[in-house]
Each structure stands twice: as structure tokens, then as C-alpha cells.
Amino acid sequence: MRISTIDKLCCPFDKNDLDLTAISKDLDGKIIEGFLSCAKCKRIYPIIKGIPIMNPDEYREFKLEAPLMEKWSKHLNGKKVENFRLVE
């Protein structure tokens, strides 16, 4: 995902802007792994192999995303993910 793409995306639930946390990039600076988060509703959307996963909650499976969130825990700044949302 190109960093410029973030300006074209918004939270599908409340249309708020998203914050980007890049975890790994390729040599061209494209984001390979990371996540997008919404400051308003606190939802988190993973970026896997350069593709943001922004499905509605009912089409997501937390057990499939849990290993990524555990791997990325140091990037969550002490927060945890519950019901696809960042919580204290």
C-alpha cells in the first residue's frame, strides 16, 4: 500500500479519518505490514501484504487476526484489541 493511499481511505463505519501505523515497508517505501485505526470508533484494520483489510465486523474473524495483533503488540502502545477495537 502506498502511503498516499491513506488520504483516500476513511473508516467505513463513521467516515472518520484513519491513522496509519506502518510496521514494515518494502524498498520503495510501500507499506507491507501495519494497521489503520479510527480515533472516533477505535476500530483497527490490519494491513497484510500491502492490502488493508477493512471488512465490516460481522465478516471478520478475530481468531484469524489475533496472531497479528499479538505480533504487533509493541506497536499498540500498551493497548489491546477487543471486538476489533483498540482499548486501554
The Cα–Cα gap between 66 and 84 comes to: 10
The Cα–Cα gap between 80 and 47 comes to: 17
The model carries a pTM of 0.86
Which pLDDT value is given to residue 88? 84
Write out pLDDT tens, residues 1-32: 888 888 899 999 999 999 999 999 999 999 99
Write out pLDDT tens, residues 31-66: 999 999 999 999 999 999 999 999 988 898 888 888
